[in-house]
Structure 1
Amino acid sequence: MGDSYSYSYDEECDYLFKAVMIGDSGVGKSNLLSRFAKDEFRFDSKPTIGVEFAYRNIKIADKIIKAQIWDTAGQERFRAITSSYYRGALGALLVYDITRRATFGNIKKWLKELREYSNSHMIIVLVGNKSDLSKNREVQEEEGKELAETEGLYFMETSALENLNVQDAFLQMFSKILENTVQKNLETKTNDQTKTMNVLQGRKEIINIDHEVTATKQSSCCYQ
């Protein structure tokens, strides 16, 4: 993603951002997470039971972000934790396997759940994983791009095995979260300043009496 990104593990963080990973079982969510958090790929990776999460500090521009990424089981029988899983999440990686069309077909189901339990400003990156297995491809890259465009998502194909675009997918998500957060904080600060100015200006009113006497009084009806 360019030179504006670097990595750090020991520095104090400016922000803590939670993100989640969702998608069918076996699409490679756990290996994407382990590749991002520890630069590891597990050939003997087993299905996630319940919820796992990892932390990693990253530097975006001049800010240190503590990235907290939650990974959950794709199997329906482990979905009882849904609401707590999404609570507080600002971003999501929505993952399918390019060699299994059924996992792509289920993306809209996952997207519906995601939008039901998360806030409307969540940053969502659609990820077509296992691009190293292109000879077994069942979902074309263009299909992923079209779905992302239709649903207002970001899109990227990745390979956890070859470490292709894995860092970029996570960093794109967290950079957009940071951008939104900074903008929101700026708007809040501006609104607070405007309200303060309105209060200060509204506490006094000039009363003209017969165009001769000018008096100043405190207005107490609307301000505490």
Structure 2
Amino acid sequence: MDPTLWQYQFRIIMLGDSTVGKSSLVKRYTEDNFLETINETVGVDFYVHFFEVEPGVRVKMQFWDTAGQERFRSVTRSYYRNSVGGLLVFDLTKRGTFEHIRDWHAEVCEHVLPHKVLFVLVGHKSDDQGKRTVSREEAEKLAGILGVPYIEASAKAGHNVKETFELLARRIYRGLMSGDLDLHEGWDGVKCATPLALEAHRRSLPHSDPTHKQKPKCCA
């Protein structure tokens, strides 16, 4: 099978403060590469990875790696609306980055309406337990408040990196199959490979009745 063939395309945005390791995570996943020193992202960087979300169903995952610095926020905000997934990343060794997660989540929710973004909360740098400032219990509590899954990962050690991204991809796919996520004209968060695939997908949804109107949802 041609590795570049896909049925769905998911656009996913990397969110979190500067230096939490968003670029390291996405590079480890897409390139299986880790650099001890990496330049801070300026604006937005772009990555692609293909993944078989279930047997016979291949998705193209597009990652927008956003700059965490405030001076680039006006640039990164423009990418929120066309994202279907978001990784909310904080550094387990820097408590301030954890305390800002609610702000990142709220900002995305504000900008995506009437569309919906699905999130996963990621505690990064789990390899550095000696410097940890955020406990698993309080991270899981925040995840519960936000209604999102929580996972701890390390790009340096390669721990839970694949699991992090694929957890989000499967969550998006389940949302599509259940009808919890809607496909909209002019929205690029999710794309089907062909118009025929899009029509077949719509017919398969629980609310395929054209008279059904689903109330827009924001984030989860």
TM-score normalized by structure 1? 0.79
Matched with 1:63 is 57
1:160-180 alpha-carbon deviations (Å, 9 max, x no partner): 101111111110101111111
Tell me by how many angstroms 1:9 deviates: 7.2
Matched, 1:100 2:94: yes
Counting strand residues as a fraction of each chain, which structure ranks higher? 1
Q: Which amino acid aligns with 1:117?
A: H
Cα distance between partner residues in 1 of 2:207 and 2:20: 42
Counting helix residues as a fraction of each chain, which structure ranks higher? 1
Tell me by how many angstroms 1:49 deviates: 0.6
Q: Secondary structure at the match of 2:11?
A: strand
Picking from 59, 66, 72, the partner of 1:72 is 66
Tell me by how many angstroms 1:188 deviates: 6.4
Matched with 1:39 is 32
Cα distance between partner residues in 1 of 2:208 and 2:102: 38
Query: Does the 8 Å contact 1:9/1:56 carry over to 2?
Result: no
RMSD across aligned positions (CA) = 1.8
Query: Does the 8 Å contact 1:31/1:160 carry over to 2?
Result: yes
Q: Secondary structure at the match of 2:169?
A: helix
Query: Does the 8 Å contact 2:15/2:22 carry over to 1?
Result: yes
1:143-173 alpha-carbon deviations (Å, 9 max, x no partner): 1100000110111010010111111111010
Matches within 5 A, 1:42-191: 42-61=35-54, 62-119=56-113, 121-184=116-179, 185=202, 186-187=204-205, 190-191=208-209
Tell me by how many angstroms 1:113 deviates: 0.6
Q: Which amino acid aligns with 1:68?
A: Q
Structure scoring higher RCO (CA < 8 A, sep ≥ 6) equals 2
Matched, 1:13 2:13: no
Cα distance between partner residues in 2 of 1:153 and 1:37: 23
Gaps of 5+ in 1: 1-7, 196-224
The number of residue pairs the alignment matches comes to 187
Matches within 5 A, 1:185-204: 185=202, 186-187=204-205, 190-192=208-210
Gaps of 5+ in 2: 180-201, 213-220
TM-score normalized by structure 2? 0.80
Identity %: 37
